[in-house]
Amino acid sequence: MVLPAIIEGYDVSRIFIDGGSSINLIYADTLRKMNISLANLTPTNTRFHGITPEKPTYPLGKIALDVQFGTKENFRKEKLEFEVIDWPSQYHALLGRPAYARFMVVPHYTYLLWRIPGPKGPIMVKGSFALSDKCDKDFHKISESFGMQAEYEASKLTTNHDVIPDGGRSLQEQAFDTSKDSKEVQIHPTDPKKTTSIATNLDSA
């Protein structure tokens, strides 16, 4: 589920809703676009899995931000704590179970809908099927780049760059002497003067 929200006064359109996550995440690139310095982060002991295969991810730090849903007439604002990671993503942020609890959310995944109690009645936050589909497509592009980067990092650990690659042929085999390794052949069926030089080791046609 992908929903819009207002974070620190900025309209943020790609908020991934993950009821299975025990933390809220926001990406360093999102903070940069919001003109929030990473110097404002505080230390964190959190680490988690699910972004890079078989390796834990360590956030840069954590930050508390105001998150708002609703309209001017009926809105709900809560301060949420986010773990900050510096990874490319198709999303701007991720809201997990802490956001569910703070906003007292009732989710409707089939309709891409969040229902939140507000001061003037329920607040309905609707997602977009088109935007969700676009995020899925963007994810495949990003995941491919992750795979290529992982292969590159693995090759750096196993490749000795001080050794010149073996081309499979000795220098003696690569040397070509035109006076010994070539021969003249006639290329015109009736004129013997029209010839060209070819290698002597070429197979007959």
Nearest 5°: CA angle at 100, between 127 and 56? 95
Q: Which pLDDT value is given to residue 47?
A: 77
Residue 124 domain-assigned (yes or no)? yes
Residues 6+ apart with CB under 8 A from 188: 194
Please check whether residue 76 lies inside any domain of the structure: yes
Quote the pLDDT of residue 49.
64
* Residue 28 domain-assigned (yes or no): yes
Predicted confidence at residue 187, as pLDDT, reads 77
Considering the domain boundaries, does residue 165 fall inside one?
A: no
Range(s) of the domain holding residue 126: 2-154
Q: What's the pLDDT score for residue 87?
A: 83
Q: What is the rounded distance in angstroms from the CA atom of residue 169 to the CA atom of residue 63?
A: 59
Work out how many domains the chain is built from and give that number. 1
Query: Does residue 117 lie in a domain region?
Result: yes
In degrees, rounded to 5, the angle at the alpha carbon of residue 104 between the alpha carbons of residues 101 and 108 is 105
- pTM given for the model: 0.64
Given this model, what pLDDT does residue 8 score? 95
Count of Cβ atoms closer than 10 Å to residue 94 Cβ: 21
In a domain, 54, yes or no: yes
Question: How many Å apart are CA 6 and CA 95, to the nearest integer?
Answer: 13
Please indicate, yes or no, if residue 85 is contained in any of the structural domains. Answer: yes
CATH number, position 8: 2.40.70.10
- Do the domain assignments include residue 205? no
- 10-residue mean pLDDT profile of the chain (205 residues): values are 93 90 92 93 81 68 95 95 90 93 92 93 90 75 57 55 57 59 76 76 61
